[in-house]
Protein backbone atom coordinates (compact mmCIF):
# COMPACT_ATOMS: atom_id res chain seq x y z
CA UNK A 1 0.00 0.00 0.00
CA UNK A 2 1.19 3.50 -0.78
CA UNK A 3 2.78 5.23 2.17
CA UNK A 4 0.05 6.81 4.20
CA UNK A 5 -0.24 10.53 3.76
CA UNK A 6 -1.31 12.50 6.78
CA UNK A 7 -4.89 13.18 5.79
CA UNK A 8 -5.48 10.66 3.03
CA UNK A 9 -8.89 9.07 3.16
CA UNK A 10 -9.70 5.38 3.10
CA UNK A 11 -11.66 3.58 0.40
CA UNK A 12 -13.24 0.18 0.84
CA UNK A 13 -13.78 -1.53 -2.50
CA UNK A 14 -16.59 -4.04 -2.55
CA UNK A 15 -17.16 -6.60 -5.30
CA UNK A 16 -20.51 -8.38 -5.27
CA UNK A 17 -22.56 -10.84 -7.23
CA UNK A 18 -24.54 -7.94 -8.71
CA UNK A 19 -22.02 -5.14 -9.10
CA UNK A 20 -19.40 -3.10 -7.24
CA UNK A 21 -19.60 -0.45 -4.54
CA UNK A 22 -17.04 1.95 -3.12
CA UNK A 23 -17.23 3.18 0.47
CA UNK A 24 -15.14 6.21 1.30
CA UNK A 25 -14.18 7.91 4.54
CA UNK A 26 -11.80 10.61 5.64
CA UNK A 27 -8.63 9.72 7.53
CA UNK A 28 -10.52 9.50 10.83
CA UNK A 29 -12.77 6.77 9.35
CA UNK A 30 -15.81 7.99 11.28
CA UNK A 31 -18.18 8.97 8.49
CA UNK A 32 -18.59 6.81 5.44
CA UNK A 33 -20.45 7.30 2.22
CA UNK A 34 -21.24 4.67 -0.34
CA UNK A 35 -20.96 5.06 -4.12
CA UNK A 36 -22.42 2.71 -6.67
CA UNK A 37 -23.48 0.37 -7.92
CA UNK A 38 -20.91 0.13 -10.65
CA UNK A 39 -21.60 -2.56 -13.27
CA UNK A 40 -25.09 -3.23 -11.90
CA UNK A 41 -26.06 -6.82 -12.60
CA UNK A 42 -22.52 -7.98 -13.32
CA UNK A 43 -20.54 -10.33 -11.12
CA UNK A 44 -17.54 -8.44 -9.79
CA UNK A 45 -15.15 -10.96 -8.31
CA UNK A 46 -12.45 -8.50 -7.36
CA UNK A 47 -12.00 -4.71 -7.30
CA UNK A 48 -8.48 -3.54 -6.53
CA UNK A 49 -6.78 -0.13 -6.34
CA UNK A 50 -3.16 0.09 -7.47
CA UNK A 51 -1.13 1.10 -4.39
CA UNK A 52 1.70 2.27 -6.66
CA UNK A 53 -0.22 5.20 -8.08
CA UNK A 54 -3.28 5.42 -5.85
CA UNK A 55 -5.57 5.95 -8.83
CA UNK A 56 -5.71 2.91 -11.12
CA UNK A 57 -8.67 0.75 -10.21
CA UNK A 58 -9.24 -2.63 -11.87
CA UNK A 59 -12.47 -4.60 -11.74
CA UNK A 60 -12.76 -8.28 -12.69
CA UNK A 61 -16.23 -8.62 -14.22
CA UNK A 62 -18.47 -11.23 -15.69
CA UNK A 63 -21.88 -10.32 -17.05
CA UNK A 64 -24.50 -13.03 -17.08
CA UNK A 65 -23.32 -15.62 -19.57
CA UNK A 66 -21.02 -13.26 -21.46
CA UNK A 67 -17.29 -13.85 -21.49
CA UNK A 68 -15.08 -12.46 -18.73
CA UNK A 69 -13.37 -9.11 -18.86
CA UNK A 70 -11.50 -6.50 -16.85
CA UNK A 71 -12.39 -2.82 -16.61
CA UNK A 72 -10.04 -0.02 -15.62
CA UNK A 73 -10.71 3.38 -14.09
CA UNK A 74 -8.33 6.16 -13.14
CA UNK A 75 -10.94 8.38 -11.50
CA UNK A 76 -12.33 6.10 -8.80
CA UNK A 77 -15.04 4.71 -11.00
CA UNK A 78 -16.50 7.82 -12.61
CA UNK A 79 -15.59 6.28 -15.96
CA UNK A 80 -14.44 2.79 -16.94
CA UNK A 81 -12.53 1.44 -19.93
CA UNK A 82 -12.68 -2.21 -20.87
CA UNK A 83 -9.47 -4.16 -21.50
CA UNK A 84 -8.64 -4.25 -25.20
CA UNK A 85 -7.46 -7.82 -24.78
CA UNK A 86 -9.08 -9.45 -21.72
CA UNK A 87 -7.48 -12.37 -19.88
CA UNK A 88 -7.55 -15.52 -22.01
CA UNK A 89 -5.69 -18.76 -22.49
CA UNK A 90 -3.54 -19.60 -25.50
CA UNK A 91 -5.38 -20.79 -28.58
CA UNK A 92 -5.01 -24.53 -28.93
CA UNK A 93 -3.37 -26.03 -31.98
CA UNK A 94 -5.68 -27.12 -34.77
CA UNK A 95 -7.72 -30.08 -33.53
CA UNK A 96 -6.70 -29.49 -29.93
CA UNK A 97 -9.12 -28.79 -27.12
CA UNK A 98 -7.93 -25.64 -25.44
CA UNK A 99 -9.19 -24.13 -22.24
CA UNK A 100 -11.24 -20.95 -21.95
CA UNK A 101 -11.26 -18.49 -19.08
CA UNK A 102 -14.68 -18.60 -17.43
CA UNK A 103 -14.06 -15.71 -15.07
CA UNK A 104 -11.28 -13.61 -13.64
CA UNK A 105 -11.23 -14.38 -9.95
CA UNK A 106 -8.26 -12.52 -8.49
CA UNK A 107 -6.29 -9.34 -9.23
CA UNK A 108 -2.85 -8.49 -7.85
CA UNK A 109 -0.82 -5.36 -8.61
CA UNK A 110 2.77 -6.23 -9.52
CA UNK A 111 6.00 -5.27 -7.81
CA UNK A 112 6.53 -1.64 -6.82
CA UNK A 113 9.39 -1.37 -9.33
CA UNK A 114 7.25 -2.73 -12.18
CA UNK A 115 4.70 -0.03 -12.69
CA UNK A 116 1.82 -1.12 -14.87
CA UNK A 117 2.32 -4.82 -14.17
CA UNK A 118 -0.68 -6.72 -12.82
CA UNK A 119 -1.41 -10.40 -12.37
CA UNK A 120 -4.83 -12.02 -12.59
CA UNK A 121 -5.87 -15.43 -11.37
CA UNK A 122 -8.54 -17.14 -13.42
CA UNK A 123 -11.16 -19.83 -13.26
CA UNK A 124 -10.37 -22.48 -14.36
CA UNK A 125 -6.94 -22.27 -12.81
CA UNK A 126 -4.62 -20.03 -14.78
CA UNK A 127 -2.39 -16.99 -14.45
CA UNK A 128 -2.34 -13.99 -16.76
CA UNK A 129 -0.27 -10.84 -16.68
CA UNK A 130 -0.68 -7.28 -17.89
CA UNK A 131 2.24 -4.91 -18.49
CA UNK A 132 0.06 -1.91 -19.31
CA UNK A 133 -2.13 -1.40 -16.25
CA UNK A 134 -4.79 -3.84 -17.37
CA UNK A 135 -5.31 -2.72 -20.97
CA UNK A 136 -4.03 -5.99 -22.46
CA UNK A 137 -3.41 -9.37 -20.83
CA UNK A 138 -1.18 -12.29 -21.77
CA UNK A 139 -1.15 -15.77 -20.29
CA UNK A 140 1.83 -16.78 -18.16
CA UNK A 141 2.91 -19.73 -20.26
CA UNK A 142 5.12 -21.25 -17.58
CA UNK A 143 1.97 -21.95 -15.63
CA UNK A 144 -0.93 -22.15 -18.11
CA UNK A 145 0.92 -24.29 -20.63
CA UNK A 146 2.99 -26.36 -18.22
CA UNK A 147 2.96 -30.09 -18.97
CA UNK A 148 2.35 -30.52 -15.24
CA UNK A 149 -0.83 -28.43 -15.19
CA UNK A 150 -3.23 -31.37 -15.18
CA UNK A 151 -1.30 -32.94 -12.33
CA UNK A 152 -1.40 -29.66 -10.41
CA UNK A 153 -5.11 -28.90 -10.80
CA UNK A 154 -6.53 -32.42 -10.88
CA UNK A 155 -9.62 -33.51 -12.74
CA UNK A 156 -13.24 -32.43 -12.86
CA UNK A 157 -13.94 -33.95 -9.45
CA UNK A 158 -11.31 -31.70 -7.87
CA UNK A 159 -12.92 -28.44 -8.94
CA UNK A 160 -14.79 -26.11 -6.60
CA UNK A 161 -18.53 -25.86 -7.36
CA UNK A 162 -18.26 -22.91 -9.75
CA UNK A 163 -14.89 -23.90 -11.17
CA UNK A 164 -11.32 -24.24 -9.99
CA UNK A 165 -9.63 -20.96 -9.15
CA UNK A 166 -6.26 -19.29 -8.99
CA UNK A 167 -6.11 -16.97 -6.01
CA UNK A 168 -3.61 -15.42 -3.61
CA UNK A 169 -1.20 -14.31 -6.32
CA UNK A 170 1.61 -12.86 -4.21
CA UNK A 171 4.67 -10.85 -5.23
CA UNK A 172 7.75 -10.73 -2.99
CA UNK A 173 8.40 -7.02 -2.32
CA UNK A 174 12.17 -7.75 -2.42
CA UNK A 175 12.18 -9.51 -5.77
CA UNK A 176 9.67 -9.12 -8.62
CA UNK A 177 10.62 -12.53 -10.01
CA UNK A 178 9.60 -14.28 -6.80
CA UNK A 179 5.92 -15.17 -7.02
CA UNK A 180 3.49 -17.38 -5.16
CA UNK A 181 -0.04 -18.47 -6.03
CA UNK A 182 -2.77 -20.64 -4.60
CA UNK A 183 -5.05 -23.04 -6.43
CA UNK A 184 -8.44 -24.21 -5.23
CA UNK A 185 -8.07 -26.96 -5.69
CA UNK A 186 -4.45 -27.76 -6.32
CA UNK A 187 -2.30 -26.33 -3.55
CA UNK A 188 0.23 -23.57 -3.12
CA UNK A 189 3.02 -22.85 -5.59
CA UNK A 190 6.22 -20.81 -5.81
CA UNK A 191 8.13 -19.39 -8.76
CA UNK A 192 11.59 -17.81 -8.61
CA UNK A 193 11.74 -16.85 -12.28
CA UNK A 194 8.74 -14.58 -12.91
CA UNK A 195 6.43 -17.51 -13.53
CA UNK A 196 8.52 -19.43 -16.04
CA UNK A 197 8.61 -22.43 -13.71
CA UNK A 198 6.77 -23.43 -10.54
CA UNK A 199 7.20 -25.79 -7.64
CA UNK A 200 4.67 -26.94 -5.07
CA UNK A 201 4.94 -25.70 -1.51
CA UNK A 202 2.46 -27.68 0.56
CA UNK A 203 4.56 -29.68 3.00
CA UNK A 204 3.01 -29.74 6.46
CA UNK A 205 -0.54 -29.00 5.28
CA UNK A 206 -3.29 -31.49 5.94
CA UNK A 207 -5.01 -32.74 2.82
CA UNK A 208 -8.55 -32.94 1.51
CA UNK A 209 -8.13 -36.51 0.33
CA UNK A 210 -5.56 -39.19 1.16
CA UNK A 211 -3.77 -39.61 -2.15
CA UNK A 212 -0.58 -41.66 -2.11
CA UNK A 213 1.14 -38.64 -3.65
CA UNK A 214 1.76 -36.16 -0.80
CA UNK A 215 1.56 -33.27 -3.27
CA UNK A 216 -2.06 -34.06 -4.13
CA UNK A 217 -5.20 -33.18 -2.19
CA UNK A 218 -4.29 -29.65 -1.15
CA UNK A 219 -6.70 -26.74 -1.03
CA UNK A 220 -5.44 -23.40 0.26
CA UNK A 221 -8.32 -20.94 0.55
CA UNK A 222 -6.42 -17.70 1.13
CA UNK A 223 -2.72 -17.01 1.57
CA UNK A 224 -1.18 -13.72 2.71
CA UNK A 225 2.45 -12.63 2.60
CA UNK A 226 3.51 -10.14 5.22
CA UNK A 227 4.61 -6.93 3.46
CA UNK A 228 7.14 -5.99 6.17
CA UNK A 229 8.44 -9.52 6.73
CA UNK A 230 8.08 -11.23 3.34
CA UNK A 231 9.47 -14.53 4.56
CA UNK A 232 6.39 -14.98 6.69
CA UNK A 233 3.18 -16.21 5.08
CA UNK A 234 -0.11 -17.20 6.62
CA UNK A 235 -2.64 -19.53 5.04
CA UNK A 236 -6.30 -20.19 5.69
CA UNK A 237 -6.61 -23.65 4.22
CA UNK A 238 -9.54 -26.00 3.69
CA UNK A 239 -8.03 -28.03 6.54
CA UNK A 240 -6.98 -25.31 8.99
CA UNK A 241 -4.84 -22.23 9.61
CA UNK A 242 -1.13 -22.43 8.82
CA UNK A 243 2.02 -20.33 8.95
CA UNK A 244 5.36 -20.69 7.24
CA UNK A 245 8.63 -18.83 7.79
CA UNK A 246 10.86 -19.14 4.77
CA UNK A 247 13.30 -20.48 3.85
CA UNK A 248 11.55 -23.35 5.59
CA UNK A 249 9.41 -25.29 3.15
CA UNK A 250 7.08 -26.69 5.80
CA UNK A 251 3.85 -25.13 7.02
CA UNK A 252 2.88 -25.30 10.67
CA UNK A 253 -0.80 -25.59 11.68
CA UNK A 254 -1.20 -22.64 14.02
CA UNK A 255 -4.97 -23.04 13.94
CA UNK A 256 -4.73 -25.87 16.44
CA UNK A 257 -4.74 -23.16 19.11
CA UNK A 258 -8.20 -21.97 18.06
CA UNK A 259 -11.09 -22.86 20.42
CA UNK A 260 -12.20 -26.42 19.70
CA UNK A 261 -15.87 -25.40 19.49
CA UNK A 262 -15.09 -22.96 16.69
CA UNK A 263 -12.33 -24.78 14.88
CA UNK A 264 -9.93 -23.33 12.35
CA UNK A 265 -11.86 -23.78 9.11
CA UNK A 266 -12.71 -20.73 7.03
CA UNK A 267 -11.98 -18.83 3.87
CA UNK A 268 -10.52 -15.35 4.49
CA UNK A 269 -7.44 -14.15 6.33
CA UNK A 270 -5.84 -10.73 6.63
CA UNK A 271 -2.67 -9.38 8.20
CA UNK A 272 -1.60 -6.39 10.22
CA UNK A 273 0.38 -4.19 7.82
CA UNK A 274 3.29 -3.64 10.21
CA UNK A 275 3.28 -6.42 12.81
CA UNK A 276 4.08 -9.85 11.33
CA UNK A 277 2.71 -11.57 14.43
CA UNK A 278 -0.81 -10.15 14.07
CA UNK A 279 -3.44 -11.66 11.78
CA UNK A 280 -7.20 -12.08 11.61
CA UNK A 281 -9.39 -14.93 10.39
CA UNK A 282 -13.15 -15.34 10.18
CA UNK A 283 -14.01 -18.97 11.00
CA UNK A 284 -16.96 -20.82 9.54
CA UNK A 285 -18.73 -24.04 10.36
CA UNK A 286 -16.65 -26.73 8.72
CA UNK A 287 -18.39 -29.62 10.44
CA UNK A 288 -20.28 -32.56 8.93
CA UNK A 289 -21.81 -31.16 5.71
CA UNK A 290 -19.78 -27.93 5.73
CA UNK A 291 -22.67 -25.45 6.11
CA UNK A 292 -20.28 -22.54 5.36
CA UNK A 293 -21.95 -20.28 7.93
CA UNK A 294 -20.75 -18.64 11.13
CA UNK A 295 -20.31 -21.34 13.80
CA UNK A 296 -23.49 -21.62 15.89
CA UNK A 297 -24.91 -18.56 14.09
CA UNK A 298 -22.60 -16.33 16.15
CA UNK A 299 -20.14 -14.60 13.83
CA UNK A 300 -16.75 -13.46 15.08
CA UNK A 301 -13.30 -12.62 13.87
CA UNK A 302 -10.38 -14.23 15.64
CA UNK A 303 -7.07 -12.41 16.02
CA UNK A 304 -3.64 -13.61 16.90
CA UNK A 305 -0.93 -11.27 18.15
CA UNK A 306 1.75 -13.90 18.55
CA UNK A 307 1.99 -15.55 15.17
CA UNK A 308 -0.78 -18.05 15.86
CA UNK A 309 0.27 -19.29 19.30
CA UNK A 310 -2.98 -17.91 20.71
CA UNK A 311 -6.21 -16.49 19.30
CA UNK A 312 -8.72 -14.03 20.73
CA UNK A 313 -12.40 -13.84 19.80
CA UNK A 314 -13.47 -10.38 18.52
CA UNK A 315 -17.24 -10.04 18.25
CA UNK A 316 -18.20 -6.80 20.00
CA UNK A 317 -20.81 -5.09 17.85
CA UNK A 318 -21.53 -8.14 15.71
CA UNK A 319 -24.88 -9.98 15.91
CA UNK A 320 -25.05 -12.16 19.04
CA UNK A 321 -27.19 -14.95 17.59
CA UNK A 322 -29.08 -16.19 14.53
CA UNK A 323 -26.60 -14.65 12.10
CA UNK A 324 -25.79 -17.24 9.45
CA UNK A 325 -23.56 -15.39 7.05
CA UNK A 326 -19.99 -16.15 6.23
CA UNK A 327 -17.11 -14.29 4.64
CA UNK A 328 -15.51 -15.31 1.36
CA UNK A 329 -11.78 -15.57 0.76
CA UNK A 330 -11.30 -12.13 -0.85
CA UNK A 331 -13.76 -10.41 1.49
CA UNK A 332 -11.61 -9.54 4.53
CA UNK A 333 -8.85 -6.95 4.55
CA UNK A 334 -7.01 -4.38 6.63
CA UNK A 335 -6.00 -0.78 5.99
CA UNK A 336 -2.65 0.79 6.89
CA UNK A 337 -3.86 3.26 9.52
CA UNK A 338 -2.87 3.32 13.17
CA UNK A 339 -4.77 1.72 14.76
CA UNK A 340 -5.39 -0.62 11.87
CA UNK A 341 -8.86 -0.75 10.34
CA UNK A 342 -10.18 -4.22 9.60
CA UNK A 343 -13.06 -4.83 7.19
CA UNK A 344 -15.13 -7.75 5.99
CA UNK A 345 -18.08 -8.28 3.68
CA UNK A 346 -20.67 -10.99 4.16
CA UNK A 347 -22.57 -13.38 1.99
CA UNK A 348 -25.70 -11.56 3.20
CA UNK A 349 -24.53 -8.22 1.81
CA UNK A 350 -23.20 -6.38 4.84
CA UNK A 351 -19.91 -4.52 5.13
CA UNK A 352 -18.49 -4.47 8.66
CA UNK A 353 -15.58 -2.36 9.88
CA UNK A 354 -13.42 -2.02 12.92
CA UNK A 355 -11.28 1.07 13.42
CA UNK A 356 -9.54 -0.41 16.45
CA UNK A 357 -7.94 -3.59 15.15
CA UNK A 358 -11.02 -5.74 15.67
CA UNK A 359 -11.90 -4.73 19.22
CA UNK A 360 -15.30 -3.44 18.09
CA UNK A 361 -17.27 -3.67 14.88
CA UNK A 362 -19.90 -1.56 13.17
CA UNK A 363 -21.92 -2.13 10.04
CA UNK A 364 -21.03 0.32 7.26
CA UNK A 365 -23.52 -0.97 4.69
CA UNK A 366 -26.34 -3.52 4.59
CA UNK A 367 -28.64 -5.02 1.98
CA UNK A 368 -25.96 -5.14 -0.69
CA UNK A 369 -25.81 -8.19 -2.93
CA UNK A 370 -23.81 -11.27 -1.89
CA UNK A 371 -20.29 -9.91 -1.31
CA UNK A 372 -17.39 -11.58 -3.08
CA UNK A 373 -14.49 -9.26 -2.24
CA UNK A 374 -13.44 -6.38 -0.01
CA UNK A 375 -10.21 -4.44 -0.46
CA UNK A 376 -8.92 -1.14 0.88
CA UNK A 377 -6.93 1.69 -0.59
CA UNK A 378 -5.77 5.21 0.17
CA UNK A 379 -7.49 7.97 -1.79
CA UNK B 1 -26.76 -8.13 -43.14
CA UNK B 2 -28.76 -7.25 -40.07
CA UNK B 3 -27.62 -8.63 -36.74
CA UNK B 4 -29.87 -8.55 -33.69
CA UNK B 5 -27.93 -7.82 -30.52
CA UNK B 6 -29.00 -9.02 -27.04
CA UNK B 7 -29.44 -6.33 -24.43
CA UNK B 8 -26.37 -7.32 -22.33
CA UNK B 9 -24.25 -6.24 -25.32
CA UNK B 10 -25.90 -2.85 -25.80
CA UNK B 11 -22.92 -1.27 -24.05
CA UNK B 12 -20.91 -2.03 -27.19
CA UNK B 13 -23.50 -0.88 -29.73
CA UNK B 14 -24.62 2.37 -28.12
CA UNK B 15 -27.91 0.65 -27.23
CA UNK B 16 -28.65 -0.33 -30.82
CA UNK B 17 -30.61 -3.58 -30.94
CA UNK B 18 -29.99 -4.13 -34.66
CA UNK B 19 -26.68 -3.43 -36.36
CA UNK B 20 -25.07 -4.11 -39.71
CA UNK B 21 -22.26 -6.61 -40.28
CA UNK B 22 -20.82 -8.59 -43.13
CA UNK B 23 -19.21 -11.95 -43.75
CA UNK B 24 -19.82 -15.27 -45.45
CA UNK B 25 -19.85 -17.26 -42.21
CA UNK B 26 -20.91 -16.54 -38.65
CA UNK B 27 -17.22 -16.56 -37.75
CA UNK B 28 -16.65 -13.70 -40.21
CA UNK B 29 -19.74 -11.91 -38.96
CA UNK B 30 -18.43 -11.94 -35.39
CA UNK B 31 -15.12 -10.51 -36.59
CA UNK B 32 -16.99 -7.85 -38.54
CA UNK B 33 -18.96 -6.99 -35.42
CA UNK B 34 -15.74 -6.76 -33.43
CA UNK B 35 -14.27 -4.29 -35.89
CA UNK B 36 -17.33 -2.07 -35.49
CA UNK B 37 -17.77 -2.69 -31.78
CA UNK B 38 -14.39 -3.62 -30.25
CA UNK B 39 -14.59 -6.21 -27.52
CA UNK B 40 -18.01 -7.56 -28.45
CA UNK B 41 -16.80 -10.81 -29.99
CA UNK B 42 -14.92 -12.06 -26.92
CA UNK B 43 -18.05 -11.76 -24.85
CA UNK B 44 -19.85 -14.34 -27.00
CA UNK B 45 -17.01 -16.38 -28.52
CA UNK B 46 -14.18 -17.74 -26.37
CA UNK B 47 -10.43 -17.81 -27.07
CA UNK B 48 -10.79 -21.26 -28.67
CA UNK B 49 -13.28 -19.79 -31.18
CA UNK B 50 -16.18 -21.64 -29.57
CA UNK B 51 -19.59 -20.12 -29.00
CA UNK B 52 -19.79 -19.54 -25.25
CA UNK B 53 -22.22 -21.60 -23.16
CA UNK B 54 -25.73 -20.13 -22.97
CA UNK B 55 -25.11 -18.05 -26.09
CA UNK B 56 -26.96 -18.97 -29.26
CA UNK B 57 -26.70 -17.76 -32.84
CA UNK B 58 -29.78 -17.89 -35.08
CA UNK B 59 -29.85 -17.42 -38.84
CA UNK B 60 -33.31 -16.54 -40.14
CA UNK B 61 -34.80 -18.07 -37.02
CA UNK B 62 -32.87 -21.34 -37.18
CA UNK B 63 -30.22 -22.02 -34.56
CA UNK B 64 -26.73 -22.40 -35.98
CA UNK B 65 -24.67 -25.28 -34.63
CA UNK B 66 -21.32 -23.59 -35.07
CA UNK B 67 -19.60 -20.43 -36.24
CA UNK B 68 -18.78 -22.18 -39.50
CA UNK B 69 -22.42 -21.79 -40.58
CA UNK B 70 -22.65 -19.92 -43.88
CA UNK B 71 -24.65 -16.72 -44.18
CA UNK B 72 -25.54 -14.29 -46.94
CA UNK B 73 -26.19 -10.56 -47.18
CA UNK B 74 -29.97 -11.02 -47.09
CA UNK B 75 -29.92 -13.20 -43.99
CA UNK B 76 -30.82 -11.99 -40.54
CA UNK B 77 -28.57 -13.09 -37.72
CA UNK B 78 -29.68 -12.98 -34.09
CA UNK B 79 -27.39 -13.38 -31.10
CA UNK B 80 -29.25 -14.55 -28.02
CA UNK B 81 -27.94 -14.69 -24.49
CA UNK B 82 -29.91 -16.71 -21.94
CA UNK B 83 -31.01 -14.93 -18.78
CA UNK B 84 -30.90 -18.14 -16.78
CA UNK B 85 -29.33 -18.14 -13.33
CA UNK B 86 -29.82 -16.11 -10.17
Q: Based on the number of CB atoms within 10 Å of its own CB, is A241 exposed (0-12), middle (13-18) or buried (19 or more)?
A: buried
Task: For residue B76, tell me if it sits in a domain.
Answer: yes
Q: H-helix or E-strand containing A72?
A: strand A69-73
Test the B interface: residue of A65, A70, A101 with most B CBs within 10 Å:
A65
Task: For residue B86, tell me if it sits in a domain.
Answer: no
Task: For residue B23, tell me if it sits in a domain.
Answer: yes
Give the closest-approach CA distance of A71 to chain B in angstroms. 12
What would the DSSP string read from start to end of A190-210?
Answer: EESSTTSS-EE--TT---SS-
Looking at per-residue pLDDT, the higher value among B72 and B84 belongs to B72
What is the CATH classification number for the domain harbouring B24?
3.10.20.30
Task: For residue B63, tell me if it sits in a domain.
Answer: yes
Instruction: Give the span between the Cα atoms of A282 and A314, in whole angstroms.
Output: 10
In terms of Cα–Cα distance, which of A188, A195, A165 is closest to A68? A165
Q: Name the 3-class secondary structure at B33.
A: helix
What's the confidence (pLDDT) of residue B86? 67
In terms of Cα–Cα distance, which of A300, A283, A292, A270 is closest to A347? A292
Of B8, B47, B48, the CB nearest to A64: B8
Please state, for a pLDDT cut of 90, what percent of chain B lies above it: 94
What's the confidence (pLDDT) of residue A7? 66
Q: What is the pLDDT of residues A82-126, one digit of tens each?
A: 999 999 999 999 888 899 999 999 999 999 999 999 999 999 999
Confidence of residue B82 (pLDDT cuts 50, 70, 90): confident
How many structural domains comprise chain A? Answer: 1
Q: Contact, A276 vs A245, CB < 8 A?
A: no
Task: For residue A138, tell me if it sits in a domain.
Answer: yes
| pLDDT tens, N- to C-terminus, chain A (379 residues) | 444 445 689 999 999 999 999 999 999 999 999 999 999 999 999 999 999 999 999 999 998 889 999 999 999 999 999 999 999 999 999 888 899 999 999 999 999 999 999 999 999 999 999 999 999 999 999 999 999 999 999 876 667 778 899 999 999 999 999 999 999 989 999 999 999 999 999 999 999 888 888 888 999 999 999 999 999 999 999 999 999 999 999 999 999 999 999 999 999 999 999 999 999 999 999 888 889 999 999 999 999 999 999 999 999 999 999 999 999 999 999 999 999 999 999 999 999 999 999 999 999 999 999 999 999 999 9
In b/e form, how buried is each residue of A15-46, taking b as 16+ CB within 10 angstroms? bbbbbbbbbbbeeebeebeeebbbbeebbbbb
Task: For residue B18, tell me if it sits in a domain.
Answer: yes
Residue range of the domain that includes A312: 10-88+100-378
The backbone torsions φ and ψ at residue A296, rounded to the nearest 5 degrees and listed phi first, read 65, 15
Instruction: Give the span between the Cα atoms of A235 and B80, in whole angstroms.
Output: 43
ipTM of the complex: 0.93
Task: For residue A94, tell me if it sits in a domain.
Answer: no
pTM of structure? 0.95
What's the confidence (pLDDT) of residue A147? 95
- Give the sheet arrangement for strand A118-123, strand by strand: A103-109, A118-123, A126-130, A138-139
Task: For residue B9, tell me if it sits in a domain.
Answer: yes
Task: For residue A4, tell me if it sits in a domain.
Answer: no
Of B45, B49, B83, the CB nearest to A64: B83
Task: For residue B36, tell me if it sits in a domain.
Answer: yes
Of A66, A69, A89, the CB nearest to B81: A66
Please state, for a pLDDT cut of 70, what percent of chain B lies above it: 99
What's the confidence (pLDDT) of residue A2? 44
What's the confidence (pLDDT) of residue B84? 75
Task: For residue A1, tell me if it sits in a domain.
Answer: no
What is the CATH classification number for the domain harbouring A112?
2.130.10.10
Task: For residue B72, tell me if it sits in a domain.
Answer: yes
Task: For residue A175, tell me if it sits in a domain.
Answer: yes
Q: Judge: A65–B84 Cβ closer than 8 Å, yes or no.
A: yes
Residue range of the domain that includes B69: 2-81
How many structural domains comprise chain B? Answer: 1
Q: Contact, A245 vs A232, CB < 8 A?
A: yes
User: Is the CA virtual torsion A112, A116, A121, A126 positive or negative?
Assistant: negative
A-chain residues near B8 (CB < 8 A): 63-64, 66
Q: Contact, A6 vs A15, CB < 8 A?
A: no
What's the confidence (pLDDT) of residue A199? 97
Instruction: Give the span between the Cα atoms of B75 and B78, in whole angstroms.
Output: 10
Amino acid sequence: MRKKSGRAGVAVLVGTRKGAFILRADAARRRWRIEGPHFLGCIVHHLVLDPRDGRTLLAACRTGHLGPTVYRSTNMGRTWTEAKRPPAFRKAAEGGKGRAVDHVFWLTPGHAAQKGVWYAGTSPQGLVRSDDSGATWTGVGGFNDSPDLTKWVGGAQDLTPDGGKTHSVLVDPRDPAHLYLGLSAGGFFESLDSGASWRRLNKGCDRVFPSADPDEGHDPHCVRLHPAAPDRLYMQNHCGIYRIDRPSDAWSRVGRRMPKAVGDIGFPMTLHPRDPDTAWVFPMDGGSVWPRVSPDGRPAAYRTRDGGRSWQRQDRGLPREQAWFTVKRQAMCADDADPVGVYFGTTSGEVWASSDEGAGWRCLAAHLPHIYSVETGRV
Amino acid sequence: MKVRIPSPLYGYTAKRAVVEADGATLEAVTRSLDRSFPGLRFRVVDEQDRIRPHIKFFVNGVQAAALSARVGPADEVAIVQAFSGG
